[in-house]
Amino acid sequence: MPAAPAANFIRNIIEADLAAGAYAGRRWSGRPGTAAQQQAGAPDPAKIRTRFPPEPNGYLHYGHAKSICLNFGLARDFGGVCHMRFDDTNPTREEQEYVDGILEAVQWLGFGWEAFGASHQYFASDYFPWLYEFAEKLIEAGDAYVDSQSADEMRARRGTLTQVGEDSPYRGRSVAENLDLFRRMKAGEFADGAHVLRLKIDMQSPNINLRDPVAYRIRHAHHHRTGDAWCIYPMYDYTHGVSDALENVTHSICTLEFEDHRPLYDWLNERLAALGLLNTPLPRQYEFSRLNLSYVVLSKRKLIQLVDEGHVAGWDDPRLPTLVGARRRGFTAEGFRLFAERIGVSKSDSWIDMSVLEDCMREHLNEAAERRVAVLDPLKLVITNFPEGAVETCHAPNHPLHPELGKRDMPFTRELGSSARTSRRCRRRAFTACIRATRCGYATASSSPAPAVRRMRPAT
């Protein structure tokens, strides 16, 4: 019987929520949607809903494996479902190739998004009409405005970690003017960077993420799914939390760098729920420490640079810490799952030695891999007193720990292959590099009438 998953703070939170019935009253229409749509649906069959939301601007790396195992594993263990969602809000960096590669990597790790008779693969771009509608509602409620400052001007007024920000000179625009400008932004009347839509929160906040963050920007670019239908695109922070709520996500689990973004996540969803646009109870965000491997680069930005500048052969180069590269390196999905379980989940940043990952791979391969023999850089050996054309069949176990896997035949003939490197090491000892044939019934003494072969002794 497999061992029970190790306890961690996120599991404790989920267990407490289920015990308290925190999400027992939710309803689900069978697909993502607004509050009205979800309330018209049946009771949600999933006890919890998590999600894995990569941006399709590169291939997944080792760090993503930890997040995948966590999010999909929690949904599996608690009778829920994990949504496979692409946060595709940046058309200039995203490609269908990355979407396909990510889906393949998740499935290779042993997880899927089919549950309760339906597929739960989603795209944030499918929510663009709702996100735009919600933005207009926020403008009408006085919670958003169009800012016409340049990027440098906004940066200068934003303040620093020790200095509060300053209000934009356009913060006081009327609702009518903001709506008119925002609709004209959508219609494509303005060039990139001419205007942005900002959430009206608090420029004096000690949390820099709450200083009127940008919700929409103008970007005349072709999107890999929506084509040229849009020329304004929502920002990640605006899209992420709303997408979670549209999908009825209960536990939004992300890494610690998003901890300072949680107040914005809550502020936005609570405002939209108060306007009757999002289903309740709302999702809650929880953060865990990201994977830090010693001497391994796990920054997607730096990995993209290595690929784009031609320092590696591609995303599947075995030297890269990507999952497609790991497959070519001989790493296994079971090894990654064992690694994720072994390192656990916490809120404390820590460094994991690469040897821990390699040990997990060796442990799984030692248990699962059948044994085979191969000679690299072979040196041809001819046993002169072995009959030409004769073949003696030796037998070797397929797995020394699993006799039920049977044995394999290994032919012994007049001509053999030995490692040239090993032969060179032994040459100074004047031993002939050869393969011991006693397993096939031959004596090892050179004076024996049997073929004159000896066990190769290691160099000293």
What is the model's pLDDT at position 419?
79
What is the model's pLDDT at position 350?
87
Residue among 290, 329, 342, 425 flagged as catalytic: 290
Is 290 a catalytic site residue?
A: yes
The whole model's pTM is what? Answer: 0.86
Q: Per-residue pLDDT for the chain (460 aa), expressed as one digit of tens each? A: 456 677 899 999 999 999 999 999 999 999 999 999 999 999 999 999 999 999 999 999 999 999 999 999 999 999 999 999 999 999 999 999 999 999 999 999 999 999 999 999 999 999 999 999 999 999 999 999 999 999 999 999 999 999 999 999 999 999 999 999 999 999 999 999 999 999 999 999 999 999 999 999 999 999 999 999 999 999 999 999 999 999 999 999 999 999 999 999 999 999 999 999 999 999 999 999 999 999 999 999 999 999 999 999 999 999 999 999 999 999 999 999 999 999 999 998 889 999 999 999 999 999 999 999 888 888 888 999 999 999 999 999 999 999 999 999 999 999 988 877 766 666 555 445 444 444 444 444 333 343 444 333 444 3
The domain locations on the chain are 9-129+237-291, 140-234, 378-440
Question: What is the C-alpha separation between 89 and 237, in angstroms, rounded?
Answer: 10
For residues 249 and 283, is the Cβ–Cβ distance under 8 A?
yes
The class that CATH gives domain 9-129+237-291 is alpha beta
What is the model's pLDDT at position 375?
86
What is the model's pLDDT at position 427?
58
Question: What is the C-alpha separation between 107 and 65, in angstroms, rounded?
Answer: 11
Residue among 31, 55, 270, 425 flagged as catalytic: 55
Residue spans of beta strands (DSSP E) within 112-162:
114-115, 118-119, 121-123, 144-147
Residue among 51, 173, 217, 300 flagged as catalytic: 300
Is 137 a catalytic site residue?
A: no
Is 55 a catalytic site residue?
A: yes
* Architecture in CATH of 140-234: Alpha-Beta Complex (3.90)
Between the alpha carbon of residue 359 and those of residues 70, 329, 365, 440, the distances in Å are 20, 14, 10, 35
